[in-house]
Amino acid sequence: GLLGRLNINVDKFISGMATIESGYRADLPYHNSIHAADVLHCMNYLVNKPAMRCLFSDLEIFAIYVAAMIHDFEHPGVNNNFLIASSDRKALLYNDKSVLENHHCAAAFEVLSRPQCAFLSTLDRADYKSVREAIVEMVLATDLSQHFSVLSMFKKKTLSADTFDPLGAREDRLLLMQMLMKCADVANPTKEWPLYKEWTDRIIEEWYCQGDREKALGLPISPFMNRDGPNAANPASSQTGFINFIVAPLYDAFGAWTDLSEIRSTLEQNKARWAATSGGPASSASSASTSASSGSDSDSPKNRPRRKSGANTGTSTG
């Protein structure tokens, strides 16, 4: 298998991943270990598309899987804006820049440096540097405040200049990894309706919990996070905006480079269902876009199965 080909110590890998899993909070509706597993599943699906698998080495596939597993490690259930507005120590530590994403990476690599979890220690210096770079780039790309810059770069390379060469250029391969992570992280609206709706309910509850905390602290309540607001019972507006401004452009750009027709078809069906629910096209899409881009760490729904006893259930917006 993959671990054997890379000479990864299986016991240390299991110990490391078990410790990472325990760092996802079971009390969170959305950003929990189920979400991490869901993103890992999505990454595996995407990376095994026929046009994709031949581009990556075993080492890069391994980095992709690890990045998915750690990408929301120790998520607190609030977004970057909340941490910054409340002067949280993490915001002070990371100077208000990709606060959660930096923490996910730093905290996870601290775990993976512990002797019983150090499965990366068997890699030589060059391979370790390569894996670490790829993981950090992918996790930082999940900050939605960086969404448009990453998407614009990908579109420029693949659609305009036709200079995209992921097989021959590591820079382009890293950009492709970032796109894979972004697509997996915001994949909820591409899932069949029952699963998508479950994730939507979960992220909305997590948003409302953040709104409750903002209210208690006397902070402005973030868009879509007021459980007492006029549209609290109807998520169609926020979800349509999220699809129109974040998910659809991302999958359109990626789908122009490799076939994602089945996924994009389901996305359009879900978009139409929200429109029917609201009686027409959502009117506050721009607000949803603003909320998503300012609420980094993917503040939009993700695919999630039902909560099981003892399972971590954290939520992210994407």
Catalytic residues: 31
Rounded Cα distance between 146 and 59, Å, is 26
Rounded Cα distance between 63 and 226, Å, is 38
Residues belonging to the chain? 318
String of DSSP letters for 101-140: HHHHHHHHHHHTTSGGG-GGGGS-HHHHHHHHHHHHHHHH
Backbone dihedral angles phi then psi of residue 23, each to the nearest 5 degrees: -85, -5
Q: Is 187 in a helix, a strand, or coil? A: coil
Q: Which residues fall within 8 angstroms of residue 246, CB to CB, at 6 or more apart?
A: 144, 147, 186, 289, 292, 293, 300, 318
Among 183, 293, 312, CA closest to 249? 183
Given a contact cutoff of 8 angstroms between Cβ atoms, the answer to whether 142 and 185 are in contact is: yes
Backbone dihedral angles phi then psi of residue 31, each to the nearest 5 degrees: -80, 70
Kindly tell me the sign of the dihedral angle through the C-alpha atoms of 205, 141, 270, 25. Answer: negative
